[in-house]
Amino acid sequence: MNQTGGKQTLLPAFFSRVTGVEGERMAYFPIFIELRDRPCLVAGGGKVALRKARALLSFGARVTVAARAFLPEFECLPAVLIRRGVLSSDLRGMALAVDATGDSAAGKMLSRECARRKIPLNVVDRPDLCSFFFPAVLRRGPLTAAVSTGGTSPTAAAWTRDRLDEVLPARFEEILEQMGRLRARARGEPGGPDRRAALLRRCFAAAVEKEGPLSEEELLRLWEEKE
Ligand SMILES: C[C@@]1(CC(=O)O)c2cc3[nH]c(cc4nc(cc5[nH]c(cc(n2)[C@H]1CCC(=O)O)[C@@](C)(CC(=O)O)[C@@H]5CCC(=O)O)C(CC(=O)O)=C4CCC(=O)O)c(CCC(=O)O)c3CC(=O)O
Ligand SMILES: NC(=O)C1=CN([C@@H]2O[C@H](COP(=O)(O)OP(=O)(O)OC[C@H]3O[C@@H](n4cnc5c(N)ncnc54)[C@H](O)[C@@H]3O)[C@@H](O)[C@H]2O)C=CC1
């Protein structure tokens, strides 16, 4: 997390010599954070603010949007709307903030204040002021895949996400749910963690091949198979 509110750290000279990447920005570490019921601030009421607000809401965040003007779509969002310019006091208690105003004064103010308050910040038109980026997201039941190009090409990130979507088998959601249940069931099995892991790998491969969850007979057959 870039808490300085300033430029991203460049690769140290010795590291670029080792990797051969001259002055390239270090990739951001991907993490999955809990946003359910956590207060998040979005500044701005345009198309980009709407996309960011919807993304946060879809992960259960409590979203407050501060903007001078809102697109009509905002009226239907389960979010608190504040109709005025964004203020530093709007950050109070926030777990995360997004500046989608396109207003450089707002971006600088939020960047300075978020650094001071240690709040992760995304400024949609200033990657250099961001301490986190929004990835292109793919969701299938319990699976969440996130793709980032480190700000190089959002279009390419979305394209990669769409290709990933194409290789997932049909009924992947049901397969994952069955895998969750099988993990619990495998815990009671004798033979140690290696055997349990092999068992789960066999079941997963068979379900992917079948493009659907396994029947109880298919499971029992795999369960009793010798490695
Ligand atoms: C750095 C980052 C910061 C951030 O926003 O988090 C950022 C920055 C900028 N985006 C710009 C442009 C566009 N962004 C999109 C779309 C998306 N942008 C997203 C993320 C990110 N965008 C972060 C890096 C992601 C990564 O690491 O790869 C996605 C993935 C996720 C999301 O937004 O939720 C979402 C796809 C969602 C989906 O399809 O699911 C489109 C396409 C469209 O609108 O259809 C365009 C126009 C085409 C183009 O430029 O490619 C501009 C120039 C603005 C201008 O020209 O003025 C900047 C500013 C700059 O680069 O300087
Ligand atoms: N990161 C990304 O994914 C993308 C970023 N962009 C950039 O995002 C920015 C916003 O794009 P749009 O939503 O299309 O712009 P827009 O101009 O439609 O919306 C800006 C919104 O911010 C509000 N606003 C402006 N100053 C404000 C302030 N000080 N306080 C509170 N609200 C304020 C306006 O009332 C308006 O609702 C642009 O700078 C654009 O270049 C564009 C495409 C994608």
Residue 74, by phi and psi: left (phi above 0), alpha (psi -120 to 50) or beta? alpha
Given 81, 111, 133, the domain boundary residue is 133
21/114 same-domain check:
yes
Cβ distance 219 to 203 under 8 Å?
A: yes
**CA of residue 86 to ligand 1 center, whole Å:** 22
Cβ distance 39 to 98 under 8 Å?
A: no
97/189 same-domain check:
no
What value does the mean pLDDT take over residues 29-37? 96
17/125 same-domain check:
yes
Which residue has the CA at smallest separation from atom 32 of ligand 1?
A: 134
58/128 same-domain check:
yes
| Residue 152 in domain | no
| Residue 29 in domain | yes
| Residue 157 in domain | no
- Token reading at 140: 């299938």
pLDDT in tens, 42-80: 999 999 999 999 999 999 999 999 999 999 999 999 999
pLDDT at 210: 96
pTM (two decimals): 0.90
Given 133, 162, 180, the domain boundary residue is 133
| Residue 159 in domain | no
The number of folded domains in the chain is: 2
d(CA 49, CA 46): 5
pLDDT at 217: 96
pLDDT at 227: 59
Does residue 1 surpass a pLDDT of 60?
no
| Residue 166 in domain | no
40/107 same-domain check:
yes
Q: Look up the CATH number of the domain holding residue 124.
A: 3.40.50.720
43/101 same-domain check:
yes
pLDDT at 80: 98
Our separate counts of H helices and E strands in the chain read 7, 7
Given 133, 156, 185, the domain boundary residue is 133
pLDDT at 89: 98
| Residue 68 in domain | yes
Which atom of ligand 2 lies at the shortest distance from residue 84's CA?
31
pLDDT at 226: 60
pLDDT in tens, 81-112: 999 999 999 999 999 999 999 999 999 999 99
| Residue 8 in domain | no
Instruction: Band the pLDDT of 16: cuts 50, 70, 90.
Output: very low
3-class DSSP state for residue 15?
Answer: helix
37/102 same-domain check:
yes
176/89 same-domain check:
no
| Residue 7 in domain | no
pLDDT in tens, 152-192: 999 999 999 999 999 999 999 999 999 999 999 888 888 88
**CA of residue 49 to ligand 2 center, whole Å:** 7
Which residue has the CA at smallest separation from atom 22 of ligand 1?
A: 154
pLDDT at 4: 42
| 126 alpha carbon, closest ligand | 1
Name the residue range of residue 180's domain: 172-224
62/109 same-domain check:
yes
99/208 same-domain check:
no
Q: What's the whole-number average pLDDT of the chain?
A: 90
d(CA 216, CA 86): 57
Cβ distance 153 to 131 under 8 Å?
A: no
